[in-house]
Homo-oligomer: A and B are copies of this chain.
Amino acid sequence: MAVLPKRDQIGYRKVKEIVMARIRSRHWPPDTILPGEADLAAELSCTRTTVNRAMQELAEDGIVERKRKAGTRVLPTPVRQARFTIPQVRTDIEGAGADYGYRLLSRDVAAAPGWLAARTGLAARSRMLHLTCLHLADGAPFQLEDRWVDVAAVPAILDADFDTSGPGEWLVREVPYTDIDVAFFAASLSAAQAARLGAAPGDASFVAERMTWLEGDLVTFVTLNFRPGHRMQATG
């Protein structure tokens, strides 16, 4: 049997491509107001629904800006956004083909320190579980984790056993959350941190800091120090 001829109707992907090409080629330079969805649909002989989906995605991608009645405008400098998967240390390590290892370094319950309360809006005397642990890749120190968990928000945390696997995995499995804030920066390792990571004091460490929230209340605050040389990749 002959292969059935593909229906050559135009789809939203194709529409996206066409519009992108026109924007890139300066056929529609920055700040241009694009033709309305109905016009484009007519030109490309598809329905407005299809054009709409394409345009919505272009808006999501930061290529255009849409406003009712005002129309769709080509953004001057494409506000391209990059995405990265929020680091999960076990996945990171195993994804790189290395063996994952873990060690609990310390565990204690204490009142939230002032700097933490100030940064997160916690009550100053909140009871927190404070954990530090080390994640290893092929036996070598990879990441140093310093975590605070609000006991009021997650009472069960006190009964959890973190001798053989980290609190991150337990939390992500057991505790719901609605929002995450992440920040990245560089810091010099203290003597204590360097010793844990098998690096030299003062070495530059890539640091991820994460706050996890459930409906506006802090669940956990964690600081992750990576071993010197670590790179975080993203793609736009």
Contacts and interface: CB of A to CB of B under 8 A. Distances in A.
Interface of A: 24-25, 30, 62, 76-86, 88, 91, 169, 172-173, 176, 178-188, 202-207, 226, 228-236
A202 B205 contact: no
Contacts of A187: 186, 204
25 contacts: A62-B85, A77-B173, A80-B86, A80-B180, A81-B84, A82-B85, A82-B86, A82-B180, A84-B84, A84-B234, A86-B236, A179-B235, A180-B236, A182-B234, A182-B236, A183-B233, A184-B184, A184-B234, A186-B205, A186-B206, A186-B207, A187-B204, A188-B203, A202-B202, A204-B204
Tell me the number of copies of this protein. Answer: 2
Contacts of A76: 173
Contacts of A205: 186, 204
